[in-house]
């Protein structure tokens, strides 16, 4: 399953549209005014998830909610060259390349969950999410939102 993650070009808040391979909007992301990033995820106009940045932490940390139920956290790890994130609710880890434009999500057995790449030829932030199992799409989307929010906060 491939999804295309595109930031809306003229937007005051973090607003994104997520498209399938045929160009149909599958998810819409709406940024809310908050201390730290707060991103709400909609599927056909129904709220299905939220990503909230925890502020005043040593490392960037984002809390994930499906509907209104807390499911876990994404946290950036301290590394020198390659950015890494861990997802505490699924045991996944996310490793990026040294330019922070390519990421891979793997499970505990090193099986690939998704490959993520940034399309630098587009205006605004655009990522391609190549997801092995469609059931993982919402979790992968939350990871990409956290990566993009962290990069935005630190002007990467």
SS3 141: helix
Residue 60 has pLDDT above 70, yes or no: yes
pTM greater than the 0.85 cutoff: yes
Higher per-residue pLDDT: 66 or 148: 66
Residue 8 has pLDDT above 70, yes or no: no
Residue 58 has pLDDT above 70, yes or no: yes
Q: What pLDDT, in 10s, does the model give residues 91-111? A: 899 999 877 789 999 999 999
Residue 155 has pLDDT above 70, yes or no: no
Q: How confident is the model over 118-126, as a mean pLDDT?
A: 74
- Residue ranges per domain, the chain? 2-72+118-153
> What pLDDT sits at residue 136?
96
Q: How confident is the model over 59-75, as a mean pLDDT?
A: 94
Count of beta carbons in the 10 Å neighbourhood of residue 117: 15
- For residues 140 and 46, give the distance between their C-alpha atoms in angstroms, rounded to a whole number: 19
User: pLDDT grade, residue 11 (50/70/90)?
Assistant: very low
Residues in Cβ contact with 43 at an 8 Å cutoff, skipping those fewer than 6 apart: 26, 27
């Amino acid at each position: 399953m491939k999804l295309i993650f595109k930031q809306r070009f003229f937007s005051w808040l973090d607003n994104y549209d997520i498209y399938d391979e045929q160009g149909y909007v599958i998810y819409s992301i709406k940024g809310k005014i908050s201390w730290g990033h707060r991103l709400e995820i909609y599927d056909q106009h129904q709220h299905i998830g939220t990503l909230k940045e925890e502020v005043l932490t040593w490392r960037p940390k984002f809390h994930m909610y499906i509907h209104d139920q807390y499911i876990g956290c994404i946290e950036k790890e301290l590394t020198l060259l390659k950015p890494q994130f861990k997802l505490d609710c699924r045991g996944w880890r996310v490793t990026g390349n040294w330019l922070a434009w390519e990421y891979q999500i793997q499970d505990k057995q090193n099986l690939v969950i998704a490959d993520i790449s940034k399309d630098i030829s587009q205006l605004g932030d655009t990522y391609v999410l190549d997801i092995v199992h469609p059931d993982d799409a919402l979790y992968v989307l939350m990871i990409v939102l956290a990566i993009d929010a962290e990069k935005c906060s630190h002007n990467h």
